[in-house]
Amino acid sequence: MKLEEVLEARRGAVTAVALVVPFLACGVLAAAGRPLPDASAVVALALLIVAASATGLRPAGLAASVSSAVGFDYFLTKPYESLTIHDSEDVQVAVLLLLVGFAVNELALWGQRQRAELGRARGYLDGVMATAESVATPGGEPQRVIAAVAARLRDVLRLDSCEYHASTHLPGGPVLGRDGSVTRSGLTLDVDRSGLPIDEVILLPVHVGGRQRGYFTLTAASRVSRPSVQQRRVAVLLADQLSALLDTSTQDH
């Protein structure tokens, strides 16, 4: 079984559990004795919603929210074992339970996205530092450093390929600037929305002492890559590491 199929099966199983457990929990609470204080039931159901949201799967969190509201209505409000609610306060509790569940789910997902973004940013910085250390290593081979920088650029920008060309002439095409913008013929491309161009390579110049010594060709043809402006600036920093090596080699000669 492929990894994608395993993950899809896991997501389906987690969502199914999130849908069933709150409804059954309401049944257990009802069997324990009625009437049950609304506050106690809501707290118990909220904990189940938080647990489902913590999985990082939006369908699981939403399923737990809907299941909690329906289970609360069916088992814990009069008339019992019916989806009809006569008491306006019970209606408010059911609606609030549903809304709070949706809010908790979105907050949990937002927190996970923030942690993931921080983890990626740390990884990018670690990559820059590792490349800088390889440049600073005495006797470092230029080709090895160039290959390391190209590999980092492929990872940071999610590229298909990345190659370095030693040339004082920059051919035509989109250019990745130092501010992270991508321009073509003087016009700034909306990378955040449309992604990197897939019909032509992007050029990343490498300058030493204000003069161009070469450039990287960045290719993203097989899929749409939308690196953030922070990622694009990290790419420029990586290219700067190569310029430091080229500057050192020039001084040595």
User: What pLDDT is attached to residue 250?
Assistant: 47
Domains of the chain, start order? 3-115 (no CATH), 137-252 (3.30.450.40)
Helix (H, G, I), strand (E, B) or coil at 203: strand
Three-point CA angle 158, 126, 108, nearest 5°: 70
Residue indicated by tokens 């709150």: 22
For residue 35, cis peptide bond before it (omega within 30 degrees of 0) = yes
Residue indicated by tokens 């190659």: 163
Phi-psi map region of 2: left, alpha, beta (phi>0 left; psi -120 to 50 alpha):
beta
User: What pLDDT is attached to residue 23?
Assistant: 92
| Percent of the chain scoring above 70 in pLDDT | 81
User: What pLDDT is attached to residue 34?
Assistant: 63
**CA pair distance 107, 74, nearest whole angstrom:** 28
User: What pLDDT is attached to residue 54?
Assistant: 84
Low-confidence ranges of the chain (pLDDT < 50): 250-253
**CA pair distance 150, 245, nearest whole angstrom:** 14
- Given a contact cutoff of 8 angstroms between Cβ atoms, the answer to whether 134 and 144 are in contact is yes
User: What pLDDT is attached to residue 159?
Assistant: 93
User: What pLDDT is attached to residue 37?
Assistant: 62
- Is the pTM here over 0.85, yes or no? no
User: What pLDDT is attached to residue 2?
Assistant: 61
Q: Where does 139-228 have alpha helices with state H?
A: 142-157, 191-194
User: What pLDDT is attached to residue 38?
Assistant: 65
